Amino acid sequence: ASLHDVRLQPGTVYWQAQQTNLEYLLLLDVDRLVWSFRTQAGLPASGAPYGGWEGPGVELRGHFVGHYLSATAKMWASTHNDTLLAKMSSVVDALHDCQKKMGSGYLSAFPSEFFDRVESIKAVWAPYYTIHKIMQGLLDQYTVAGNSKALDLVVGMANYFSDRVKNVIQKYSIERHWASLNEESGGMNDVLYQLYTITNDQKHLTLAHLFDKPCFLGLLAVQADSISGFHSNTHIPVVIGAQMRYEVTGDLLYKQIATFFMDTINSSHSYATGGTSAGEFWTNPKRLADTLSTENEESCTTYNMLKVSRNLFRWTKELSYADYYERALINGVLSIQRGTDPGVMIYMLPQAPGRSKAVSYHGWGTKYDSFWCCYGTGIESFSKLGDSIYFEEKGDRPVLNIIQYIPSAYNWKAAGLTVNQQLKPISSLDMFLQVSLSTSAKTNGQSATLNVRIPSWTSANGAKATLNDNDLGLMSPGSFLSISKQWNSDDHLSLQFPITLRTEAIKDDRPEYASLQAILFGPFVLAGLSTGDWNAEAGNTSAISDWISPVPSSYNSQLVTFTQESSGKTFVLSSANGSLTMQERPTVDGTDTAIHATFRVHPQDSAGQLDTQGATLKGTSVQIEPFDLPGTVITNNLTQSAQKSSDSLFNIVPGLDGNPNSVSLELGTKPGCFLVIGVDYSVGTKIQVSCKSSLPSINGIFEQAASFVQAAPLRQYHPISFIAKGVKRNFLLEPLYSLRDEFYTVYFNLGA
């Protein structure tokens, strides 16, 4: 379905991700983006160039501009934002001026001498990779946004490189050209096959063939799982190009190549997130346990694998590809944005125990000084979130396949209908995906077929579908529910899919790693908040509900952060590494500091709640539980214990400093003794226990040291939150995509 016809529903996770990306695209300055292009062409360049991989001394410069053209074309189709239209048109105009100035058809931010080095098999950083991005961006500006000037630029570039590659083959040999492709060359075959469908120019088809990498596609053609050691993101685009070759030529071999490749990745080389690659490379098949690190799942590979699976679904309508798409989109794409911070994305998605998105080789990027490859694919991914929800089939009778459940509206022109899709917010306490599909007819209604996906992760037991309140009968997971009728404005289809918890073993066939399992809730990978411990206690039970349970709804009302002012700064009571300390209040959300400064404070019977102002009723005897250690409580000895007793009770009393907004924490076992902290202290100062009777009050210092403001919690439980039993401690489970800087584990050792 065209992005022009899909609109995401405001206020949803996907819409917010799209809006955050739109904000970033609008922040970027046209003159800074094209600075190196103008300089290379000998034109005046105003402003200053961007940094990172777009810096003027970086050989890959210009690649992000190509991605920007693709992303803005798709984002404009998704939003019809006029400001964005003006920006992207200005970039095309600037590139047109550059190509015209050079006069040869060549267009790049770096000199053509880079290709002399490619052809001489000398070191240079992937110039064809960048050329592919520029050509694809311009082609998207034409096919998606209708800018004919952009098409002229692509044709000029294709003709230039057609002559160049032909000259290399004539001067040296075809082997020399193949050897030059051992450097990352992006999807040159893909974009050239696309261009051929528009121009019907034989030399564009020939050039596309010359970028089909035979040493890699040949392995797949004979169906050998021998991709170990290959650079993942160099070769996935080659497979996408092979898919385009099948669409252009009808050669079934290239369909078989793509099918085998997808099967190989899914069976041997993918993580629970749907992602692939370790340190940017494929490793030995079914040996992923050794690869868990900070450098897993390069974001670019997920972007490209989604293209592969999307094409396979279009050809076959096999729902396994739709299931894969859903898994990789939720866990591998939504995960790479840092909340609503525009222009802050990651390169890798760490999957080892006790890792954080913020702590890897690259960590989080910055708005204007990163521009990594994964920034380019990132801005594209968040510009086309609506492109794989609806798929139309051509024929005498309109047919629409709905394969992703994302709140949205679709203008189904062929049927004269608008389809509105709404979802009830998903919660761990209401373990159903509930979808509402309604139609609005522009005419008197038309006969059409609607096929809706029944996910493979659901259960037939409890699944339900009704059309205008009439039960449609049993449904089979992993299939389509098909409805053919004359649709009218009052038609309403309701779907209810049970969401089950399950574990999934890591793809490793060695017996010693059989205990490494990921936990999923439907399509959501659940990460456990942890700085390294991954030993869960599943026991011998076959029922996952025996060791994983949803976080009760009352728990959010029991969360609190304790603060104090010192030396003009706000400090928070923090529990980390078994110690209670004072830490400076974090200035950003999504950190472990916020987690460590959040406590679940509840009466001994666990039934009590905070009042409407978020303050525990004073005079209550409570237990204090660190947010990330469910079931563990702070003891009167300032240790942590899973054994709840009188030693773990604290009395919340009115603040000793007399401030009506403060409280003091009195030890349940030692009346008159309190948690205290010094005055004018520094970060990391430890909490102590002091008693009024043994410490004289001088100018109210003791009273001040023992008084805390009970503030709103710095962290809340995610609506999808579970507690998993552990060997030494319990784990709080939350969707991986929702985490930002927090430390987590994706896999658990269930055999500890």
Q: Are residues 328 and 438 in the same domain?
A: no
Q: What is the pLDDT of residues 713-730, one digit of tens each?
A: 999 999 999 999 999 999
pLDDT of 695: 61
On the question of pLDDT at 609 being above 70, the answer is no
Q: Are residues 583 and 696 in the same domain?
A: yes
Considering the chain, what is the average pLDDT of its residues? 95
Q: Are residues 326 and 417 in the same domain?
A: no
- Report whether 592 contacts 741 (CB < 8 A): yes
Other Cβ atoms within 10 Å of 172 Cβ, number: 15
Q: Are residues 561 and 697 in the same domain?
A: yes
Q: Are residues 308 and 413 in the same domain?
A: no
Q: Is residue 218 part of a domain?
A: yes
The CA distances from residue 245 to 208, 241, 251, in Å, are 8, 6, 7
Q: Are residues 321 and 415 in the same domain?
A: no
On the question of pLDDT at 331 being above 80, the answer is yes
Helix (H, G, I), strand (E, B) or coil at 534: coil
Looking only at the bridges linking them, the beta strands covering 399-402 and 446-454 are parallel
Q: Is residue 442 part of a domain?
A: yes
Q: What is the pLDDT of residues 420-470, one digit of tens each?
A: 999 999 999 999 999 999 999 987 778 999 999 999 999 999 999 999 999
Percent of the chain residues past pLDDT 90, beyond the cut: 90
> Containing domain of residue 587, as a range?
553-716
Q: Is residue 302 part of a domain?
A: yes
The CA distances from residue 579 to 558, 563, 686, in Å, are 21, 17, 7
pLDDT of 95: 99
The torsion angles phi and psi of 711, rounded to 5 degrees, stand at -100, 170
d(CA 745, CA 729): 14
Q: Are residues 614 and 481 in the same domain?
A: no
Q: Which two tokens stand for residue 564?
A: 């104090």
d(CA 241, CA 220): 14
pLDDT of 538: 85
Q: Are residues 493 and 573 in the same domain?
A: no
In one-letter notation, the amino acid at residue 683 is: V
Q: What is the pLDDT of residues 386-403, one digit of tens each?
A: 999 999 998 889 999 999
Q: Are residues 703 and 561 in the same domain?
A: yes
The DSSP symbol for 352 reads S
pLDDT of 617: 60
Domain boundary (313, 336, 359) is at: 336
Q: Is residue 613 part of a domain?
A: yes
Return all residues near 400 (Cβ < 8 A) that are at least 6 apart.
390, 391, 392, 393, 410, 412, 415, 419, 448, 449, 450, 451
The CA distances from residue 679 to 499, 565, 570, 702, 705, in Å, are 51, 9, 12, 9, 6
On the question of pLDDT at 541 being above 80, the answer is no
Given phi > 0 = left and psi -120 to 50 = alpha, else beta, which region is 284?
Answer: beta
pLDDT of 612: 37
Q: How far is CA 349 from the centre of its chain?
A: 9
Q: Is residue 522 part of a domain?
A: no
Helices (H), 211-272: 214-221, 232-249, 252-264
pLDDT of 614: 45
Q: Are residues 560 and 706 in the same domain?
A: yes
Query: Which residue, among 709, 677, 689, has the nearest Cα to 560 in the 3D structure?
Result: 709
Q: Is residue 122 part of a domain?
A: no
Other Cβ atoms within 10 Å of 550 Cβ, number: 20
On the question of pLDDT at 605 being above 70, the answer is no
Domain count of the fold of the chain: 3
Query: What's the rounded mean pLDDT across residues 665-679?
Result: 91
Q: Are residues 332 and 394 in the same domain?
A: no
Q: Is residue 237 part of a domain?
A: yes
Q: Is residue 741 part of a domain?
A: no
Q: How far is CA 718 from the centre of its chain?
A: 16
Q: Are residues 572 and 703 in the same domain?
A: yes
Cα 27-29-35 angle, rounded to 5 deg:
150
CATH of the domain at 557: 2.80.10.50
